[in-house]
């Protein structure tokens, strides 16, 4: 046996062991959760004074809660009418009226397709959101047999465990709740509405079809019971699929950046107006501005909504040689922030560029951080407007440049327009070209899947068994994105981020 073959056999075994232990864990989790299945309840709106607060109940005891705690205002029978909002009194277990509100009952498994979020019976009580009312209703629920307070994300977790939604939809729901800008909201709705799930599932189905052909070759053998060329045809499909996956991976991380916020760094020499720019964009005195070079020492971040896009702007310490320990640490941080940012604005001062030598000296400390995508602002145009822009462009090699005076507010409107356009060009996503990947987790699984597919393409028809293993692992990796394949570690981390009541 050759060394490479041995290695691949070992690899296959190691992976097989991993999958087996994950599947065992999944079964165990499901069994334990079924045994402990209780009726859960939570306040789904923020606690505190407001017009209305919604309390959600889910589980086998929901109809029991309805019968004991709800009294319809029309005095009709005590059985809940599903999917109908009704005026009611909410009662304590002793029959005391706690509030006058509304209720909706969602029947779980009445038909083959459950019509409640969790797939269980659910009840929503809409009461006045005052602390005494909410406390009284929640306390009463706590005294009902088989009821307990919900954990963060537990309603969504139940929907996932019942197979009503997959993991990409779970992440989408969380992102819809967390979305702070329009672009984030649109992206989150793509996942929450099931589009991501459909696109991922289509990739998985293509892999499974490919695998089925390869397994036919294993079982029947080409040229015997099977026509020639089936294996080559499977390889061709795999190649196309690999190109499609690589296309998604090669999306400039637009989806992930839009979801977590575009990280923008303002850097440059000291005293050029970096902090003034941050304050101007934030429209408040977020950063200290003084004529003293070295005023900003740490990285200061402000999150803004720029044209629907979330932008995390970092103001940094001016880059220069410094003997001061604190300032040097700030400068090192500035350099790291600038290198790791999604967008870089390098600010320079026109007043420091009155000669070719002065210009070269002014940019010397920052030129290594400037690349063709860095946006350049030349500030302090009020002090010096005669700057050789061609020489500067040659010196720093950047393509986009604005001149302005933050002090006199000249050139500022042009910058704001151009900057917004530039951000949209780089990051905004057209509705018909929404990126598939919005989470680092998806990227990891798709990267692994693409490696397995590449490995499959490398095998010849004589190594069809090994090839099939690679395809199986590729399909498993894609299955992990939606949660069809065990992902316990991901689940716990994911639901912990949810709020209670969702």
The footprint of ligand GDP (CB under 6 A) covers: 270-276, 289-291, 295-296, 318, 379-380, 382-383, 405-407
The minimum distance between CB 298 and Mg ion, in angstroms, equals 10
156 binds, among Mg ion, ligand GDP, none (CB under 5 to 8 A by kind): none
Q: Which stretch binds Mg ion (CB under 5 A): 41-49, 168-176, 271-279, 299-307?
A: 271-279
Distance between CA atoms of 411 and 306, rounded to whole angstroms? 18
Residue 419, number of CB atoms within 10 A of its CB: 21
Beta bridge partners of 437: none
DSSP for 190-205, written as a single string: HHHTTHHHHHHHHHHH
Whether the Cβ atoms of residue 300 and residue 285 lie closer than 8 Å to each other: no
**Phi, psi (5° rounding) for residue 312?**
-100, 105
Q: Phi/psi zone of residue 146: left (φ > 0), alpha (ψ -120 to 50 degrees), beta? A: left
**Cβ 357 to ligand GDP, closest distance in Å?**
22
Please count the other Cβ atoms lying within 10 Å of the Cβ belonging to residue 16: 12
Cβ-based nearer residue to ligand GDP, 124 or 327: 327
Residue 115 CB, shortest distance to ligand GDP, in Å, is 58
**Partner whose binding site includes residue 271, from ligand GDP, Mg ion, none (CB under 5 to 8 Å by kind):** ligand GDP
88 strand-pairing partners: 72, 101
Cβ proximity to Mg ion: between 140 and 279 the closer is 279
Q: How far is CA 281 from the centre of its chain?
A: 25
Can you tell me the distance from the alpha carbon of 311 to that of 190, in angstroms, rounded to the nearest whole number?
A: 21
DSSP reduced 3-state for 375: strand
Burial of 382 (0-12, 13-18, 19+ CB in 10 A): middle
Residue 273 binds which of ligand GDP, Mg ion, none (CB < 5-8 A, kind-dependent): ligand GDP
Q: Give the Cα separation of 177 and 372 in Å (integer).
A: 37
**Residue closer to ligand GDP, measured from CB, 200 or 406:** 406
The one segment of 104-112, 162-170, 269-277, 345-353 that binds Mg ion by CB under 5 A: 269-277
Dump the DSSP string for 154-166: HHHHHHHHTTSS-
Could you tell which of ligand GDP, Mg ion, none binds residue 463, using a CB distance below 5 to 8 A set by kind?
Answer: none
Looking at beta carbons only, is 123 or 319 nearer to ligand GDP? 319
Q: Is 275 in the site for Mg ion (CB under 5 A)?
A: yes
Q: How far is the CB of 493 from ligand GDP (least distance, A)?
A: 38
Q: Give the position of tokens 């005590």.
A: 78
Q: CB of residue 335 vs Mg ion: minimum separation in angstroms?
A: 15
In the complex with Mg ion, the residue whose CB is nearer, 275 or 349, is 275
Partner from Mg ion, ligand GDP, none binding residue 439, C-beta < 5-8 Å depending on class? none
Q: In 3D, which of 47, 146, 63, 139 has the Cα closest to residue 98?
A: 139
Structural tokens at position 277: 């720019």
Residue 379 site contact among Mg ion, ligand GDP, none (CB < 5 to 8 Å, cut-off depends on kind): ligand GDP
Least Cβ distance, residue 412 to ligand GDP (angstroms): 9
Name the residue nearer to Mg ion (CB basis): 309 or 350: 350
| Least Cβ distance, residue 269 to ligand GDP (angstroms) | 8
Closest approach, Cβ 383 to ligand GDP, in A, equals: 5
> In degrees rounded to 5, what are phi and psi of residue 431?
-55, -35
Q: Work out the number of other CB atoms within 10 angstroms of the CB of residue 76.
A: 9
407 binds, among ligand GDP, Mg ion, none (CB under 5 to 8 A by kind): ligand GDP
Between residues 295 and 367, which has the closer beta carbon with respect to ligand GDP? 295
296 or 403: CB nearest Mg ion: 296
Q: Which is nearer to ligand GDP, 20 or 336 (CB)?
A: 336
Residue 102 phi/psi, 5-degree rounding, is -130, 155
Name which of 119 and 405 has its Cβ closer to ligand GDP.
405
Exposure on the CB side of residue 184, measured as CA atoms within 13 A:
24
Window 177-216: contact mask with Mg ion (x via CB under 5 A)? ----------------------------------------
Q: Of 203-211, 270-278, 306-314, 484-492, which segment contacts Mg ion by CB under 5 A?
A: 270-278
Phi and psi torsions of 361, nearest 5°: -70, -40
Identify which of residues 297 and 442 has a Cβ nearer to ligand GDP in the complex: 297
Chosen residue from 296, 349, 351, 403 binding Mg ion by CB under 5 A = 296
Residues 6+ apart with CB under 8 A from 494: 153, 167, 170, 171, 174
CB of 466 to Mg ion, least distance (A): 59
Subset of residues 320 to 349 that bind Mg ion, contact rule: CB under 5 A: none
Q: Which element (helix H / strand E) includes 441?
A: helix 440-457
Order of strands across the sheet that contains 343-349: 300-306, 309-315, 262-267, 343-349, 375-379, 400-403
Chosen from ligand GDP, Mg ion, none, partner binding at 405 (C-beta under 5 to 8 Å by type): ligand GDP
**Residue 388 contact, options Mg ion, ligand GDP, none, Cβ 5-8 Å cut-off depending on partner type:** none
CB of 423 to Mg ion, least distance (A): 22
Of 120-128, 290-298, 372-380, 459-467: span binding Mg ion (CB under 5 A): 290-298
Q: Which residue ranges make up the site for Mg ion (CB under 5 A)?
A: 274-275, 296
């Amino acid at each position: 046996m050759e060394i490479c073959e041995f290695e691949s056999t070992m690899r296959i075994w190691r992976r097989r062991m991993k999958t087996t232990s994950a599947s065992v864990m999944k079964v165990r989790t499901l069994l334990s959760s079924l045994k402990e299945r209780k009726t859960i309840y939570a306040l789904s709106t923020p606690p505190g004074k407001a017009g209305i607060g919604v309390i959600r109940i889910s589980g086998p005891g929901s109809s029991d809660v309805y019968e004991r705690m709800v009294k319809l205002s029309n005095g009709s029978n005590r059985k809940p009418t599903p999917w109908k909002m009704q005026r009611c009194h909410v009662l304590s277990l002793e029959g005391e009226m706690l509030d006058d509100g509304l209720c909706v009952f969602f029947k779980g498994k009445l038909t083959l397709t459950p019509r409640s979020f969790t797939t269980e019976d659910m009840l929503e009580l809409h009461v006045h959101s005052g602390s005494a009312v909410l406390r009284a209703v929640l306390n009463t629920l706590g005294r009902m047999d088989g009821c307990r307070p919900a954990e963060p994300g537990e309603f969504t977790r139940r929907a996932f465990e019942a197979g009503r939604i997959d993991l990409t939809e779970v992440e989408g729901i969380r992102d819809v709740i967390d979305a702070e800008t329009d672009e984030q909201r649109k992206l989150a709705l793509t996942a929450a509405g099931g589009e991501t799930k459909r696109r991922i599932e289509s990739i998985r189905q293509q892999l499974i079809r490919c695998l089925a052909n390869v397994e036919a070759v294993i079982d029947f053998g080409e040229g015997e019971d099977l026509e020639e060329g089936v294996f080559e045809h499977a390889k061709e499909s795999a190649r196309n699929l690999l190109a499609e996956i690589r296309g998604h991976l090669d999306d400039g991380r637009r989806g992930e950046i839009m979801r977590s916020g575009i990280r923008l760094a303002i850097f440059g020499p000291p005293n050029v107006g970096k902090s003034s720019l941050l304050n101007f964009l934030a429209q408040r005195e977020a950063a200290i501005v003084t004529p003293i070079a070295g005023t900003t020492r740490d990285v200061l971040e402000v999150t803004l909504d720029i044209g629907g896009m979330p932008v995390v702007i970092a103001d940094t310490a001016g880059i220069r040689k410094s003997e001061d320990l604190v300032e040097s640490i700030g400068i090192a941080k500035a350099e790291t922030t600038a290198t790791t940012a999604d967008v870089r604005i390098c600010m320079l001062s026109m007043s420091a560029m009155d000669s070719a030598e002065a210009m070269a000296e002014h940019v010397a400390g920052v030129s290594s951080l400037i690349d063709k995508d860095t946006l350049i602002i030349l500030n302090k145009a009020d002090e010096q407007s005669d700057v050789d822009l061609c020489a500067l462009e040659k010196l720093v090699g950047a393509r986009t440049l604005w001149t302005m005076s933050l002090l006199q507010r000249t050139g500022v409107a042009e910058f704001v327009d151009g900057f917004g356009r530039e951000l949209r060009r780089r990051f905004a996503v057209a509705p018909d070209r929404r990126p598939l990947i919005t989470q680092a987790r998806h990227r990891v699984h798709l990267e692994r899947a693409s490696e397995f597919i590449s490995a499959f393409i490398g095998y010849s028809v004589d190594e069809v068994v090994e090839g099939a293993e690679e395809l199986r692992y590729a399909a498993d990796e894609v299955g992990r994105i939606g949660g069809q394949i065990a992902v316990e570690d991901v689940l716990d981390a994911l639901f912990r981020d949810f709020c209670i009541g969702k």
